[in-house]
Amino acid sequence: MSNALKQTQLQFAGQTGFYKGKVRDVYYFPDQIIMVATDRISAFDVILPEAIPMKGHVLNSIAARNLEATKDIVQNWVDTVPDPNVSIGKKCEPYKVEMVIRGYLAGHAWREYKAGKRILCGVPMPDGMIENEKFPSPIITPSTKADEGHDEDISAEEIIKQGIVPESIYRKLEKITYQLFERGTKLAAEKGLILVDTKYEFGEFNGEIMLMDEIHTPDSSRYFYADTYAELLGNNQKQRQLSKEFVREWLIANNFQGKEGQTVPKMTPEVVNSITDRYLELYRTLTGEVIEKEDDIDIENRIKNNLILAGYTFSN
């Protein structure tokens, strides 16, 4: 399977700008954006050379569901989803932090812990924990939101001290983050999953805090299967998980962590297809629905046609 949307080259009437992110193409209008979830994939803040078929479809669809399911907690940027790979919504002014919240000692937190650190982003972590163990209560470990390059761990105190986000706003973001994680945990549990950790991005629109970007997707979150969690933890074995962490682990095993001088290992068709299958598995597990693979579809043309139906016109 090789039908992947690596990039888009759309030109809209009335378009005011364009931004190519790690995995999304964003088209700007005076008070609105069109965000296209491509099939590009990144890890360790590096865009990998091969795109993953169906990835954008999966992420955009899961995010849309979860944004809708959390509107009672906080309003979000999305107004409409006219295509499986496209969301249209409010042009928010982003806060330059990512609110990372962790319920379990996994991933980056575990790598730091294993290296001997007991404070992460100003938050103490108890001694004597093992990999994937549940924290006594969830911890928020923010990171800076870099326009380019690597995001960096940062403490709440530094965020406030540097004026990255005003303290009054930051405390609201903390409260919302805990509420969203509680909701995400509940939704995951209903599907037999554990929401291990995730990140939320926020911005402002007409003076109101808005939830931005995607939420509770395999790119922004880590999930364990609940039914085998306790047994695997007790035996000190790897957890069965649905997240992008398996991509990072594959890269690490092949001597790549995004560091200078390192080369991305070859992504064979078998590797690419296996990643697609994992994304489709998470979608099926989270939603109870199956997405058919799109082997013969011109995805960009489908996007264009759906946007025309939504009332947009093109200048090319």
pLDDT at 172: 98
pLDDT in tens, the chain (316 residues): 458 999 999 999 999 999 999 999 999 999 999 999 999 999 988 999 999 999 999 999 999 999 999 999 999 999 999 999 999 999 999 999 999 999 999 999 999 999 999 999 999 999 999 999 999 999 999 999 766 556 799 999 999 999 999 999 999 999 999 999 999 999 999 999 999 999 999 999 999 999 998 999 888 899 999 999 999 999 999 999 887 878 888 999 999 998 989 999 999 999 999 889 988 988 998 888 998 887 778 999 999 999 999 999 998 6
- State CA 227 to chain mean position distance: 24
pLDDT at 163: 96
Distance in angstroms (rounded) separating the CA atoms of residues 126 and 117: 10
What is the four-CA torsion angle of 265, 219, 25, 92, rounded to 10 degrees? -150
Distance in angstroms (rounded) separating the CA atoms of residues 199 and 102: 9
Give residue limits of the domains in the chain: 17-91+269-309, 94-201+228-243
pLDDT at 248: 87
Q: Per CATH, the architecture of 94-201+228-243 is what?
A: 2-Layer Sandwich (3.30)
pLDDT at 2: 58
Distance in angstroms (rounded) separating the CA atoms of residues 61 and 72: 19
pLDDT at 149: 54
Distances from the Cα of 273 to the Cαs of 12, 72, 138, 311, in angstroms? 33, 37, 34, 35
At which residue do the structure tokens 């092949």 appear? 254
Q: 109 and 197 in contact (C-beta within 8 Å)?
A: yes
Distance in angstroms (rounded) separating the CA atoms of residues 274 and 252: 17
Q: 94-201+228-243: same fold as 17-91+269-309?
A: no
% helix, strand, coil for the chain, step of 5: 30, 25, 40
pLDDT at 1: 44
Q: Per CATH, the architecture of 17-91+269-309 is what?
A: 2-Layer Sandwich (3.30)
First to last CA, the chain: 30
Give residues with Cβ within 8 angstroms of 112, minimum separation 6: 120
Q: 255 and 225 in contact (C-beta within 8 Å)?
A: no
Distance in angstroms (rounded) separating the CA atoms of residues 6 and 300: 10
E strand or H helix that includes residue 200:
strand 193-205
Closest to 302 (Cα-Cα) out of 19, 136, 85: 85
Q: 120 and 153 in contact (C-beta within 8 Å)?
A: yes
DSSP 270-287: HHHHHHHHHHHHHHHHHH
**DSSP code of residue 133:** P
- State CA 277 to chain mean position distance: 18
Distances from the Cα of 271 to the Cαs of 42, 177, 246, 268, 313, in angstroms? 15, 34, 11, 5, 38
